[in-house]
């Protein structure tokens, strides 16, 4: 019988030798053993059942071959909840948790006095991570949460996540804000993590990303700004007088996206917000 310690030691060495993150072994073994991190580390002499050891080896080898560990497990943790993920959706990243964290603060500041329903949307919802999390975290605000995606397959994943996590979200299939414009929806809140990677950066991406995550959710044109520019044409058609807009951006894109918003809404307050690592990863636009 292989122990937890031996399994982790094997995985760490194998992953490092093949240029992968050594923490993947711990993440995967925790999943297979149904244990928390503290439990796993406290019980390193515990035996790993043979079938679990076989499954563990196979999964680690698949990851070395390029498959994201989240796809092998089938879920990814985001804001303390587990979201189903697959090849049709972007795997939620920690940076997007910060978009929600700061977005919630600004929502409370701007709409804390409101008791009528607030119309909120997550555009390019993918797994539904932003929409579902906002709906569940903003429990004191009367949010009527909507989510839009152009991908039928992505919307199927998002709907499943909203159902599993008991979040009331209304879904629209379509390109950016077009389905909302057609439905005559007016918005108080918009948060979005649109595709922003420049096509010129394609060669720098890991095979784990480029071979297994949807390009539709990754690339934002030659310079990365295509989707933001299109947003600027459609946002004035849907935002109310008082609003909050929040975008996730790529490192170094903050001021350019902020300038686009300032030109579109010169009477609003626009700011670039840095993440926990001091990088410009969010842009917020508020009109009071």
CA distance 107 to 86: 31
Question: Is pLDDT of 115 > 90?
Answer: no
Q: What is the mean pLDDT of the chain?
A: 95
Residue 265 has pLDDT above 90, yes or no: yes
pLDDT at residue 209 tops 90: no
Per-residue pLDDT band for 212 (boundaries 50, 70, 90) equals confident
**Span 127-154, mean pLDDT?**
96
The fourth-level CATH superfamily of domain 92-287 is Vaccinia Virus protein VP39 (3.40.50.150)
* Res. 139: pLDDT tops 90: no
**What is the rounded average pLDDT of the residues 232-261?**
97
Inter-residue contact 250 to 224 (CB < 8 Å) = yes
Tell me: pLDDT of 1 over 90: no
Section 72-82 average pLDDT: 96
Nearest-angstrom CA–CA distance, 244 and 265: 12
pLDDT of residue 225 exceeding 90: yes
The residue among 214, 38, 255, 24 whose CA lies nearest residue 124 is: 214
Where is pLDDT greater, at 264 or 198? 264
Q: Does 59 score more than 90 pLDDT?
A: yes
Query: pLDDT at position 93, please?
Result: 92
CA distance 139 to 133: 10
Q: What is the rounded CA–CA span in Å between residue 248 and residue 95?
A: 8
Spell out the domain ranges in the chain: 2-65, 92-287
196: pLDDT strictly greater than 90 = no
DSSP codes, 233-252 = HHGGGTEEEEEEEEEE--TT
Of the pLDDT bands very low, low, confident and very high (cuts 50, 70, 90), residue 85 is: very high
Residue 135: what pLDDT?
A: 97
Average pLDDT in the 161-174 region? 98
Q: What is the pLDDT of residue 55?
A: 97
């Amino acid at each position: 019988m292989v122990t937890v310690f031996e399994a982790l030691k094997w995985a760490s060495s194998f992953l490092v030798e093949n240029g992968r993150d050594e923490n993947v072994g711990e993440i995967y073994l925790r999943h297979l053993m149904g244990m928390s991190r503290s439990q796993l580390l406290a019980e390193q002499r515990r035996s790993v059942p043979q079938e679990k050891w076989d499954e563990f080896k196979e999964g680690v080898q698949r990851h070395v071959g390029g498959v994201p560990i989240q796809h092998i497990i089938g879920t990814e943790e985001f804001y303390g909840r587990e979201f189903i993920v697959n090849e049709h959706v972007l795997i939620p990243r920690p940076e997007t948790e910060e978009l929600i964290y700061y977005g919630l603060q600004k929502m409370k500041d701007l709409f804390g006095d409101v008791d009528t329903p607030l119309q909120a949307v997550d555009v390019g919802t993918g797994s539904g991570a932003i929409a579902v999390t906002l709906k569940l975290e903003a429990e004191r605000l009367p949010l009527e949460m909507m989510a839009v995606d152009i991908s039928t397959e992505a919307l199927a994943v998002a709907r499943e996540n909203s159902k599993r996590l008991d979040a009331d979200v209304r879904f629209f299939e379509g390109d950016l804000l077009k389905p909302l414009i057609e439905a005559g929806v007016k918005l108080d809140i918009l948060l979005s993590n649109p595709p922003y990677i420049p096509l010129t950066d394609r060669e720098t991406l890991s095979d784990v990303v480029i071979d297994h995550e949807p390009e539709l959710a990754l690339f934002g044109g030659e310079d990365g700004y295509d989707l933001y520019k299109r947003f600027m044409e459609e946002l004035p058609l849907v935002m109310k007088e008082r609003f909050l807009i929040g975008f996730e951006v790529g490192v170094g894109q903050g001021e350019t996206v902020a300038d686009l918003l300032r030109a579109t809404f010169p009477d609003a307050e626009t700011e670039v917000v840095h993440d926990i690592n001091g990088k410009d990863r969010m842009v917020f636009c508020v009109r009071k």
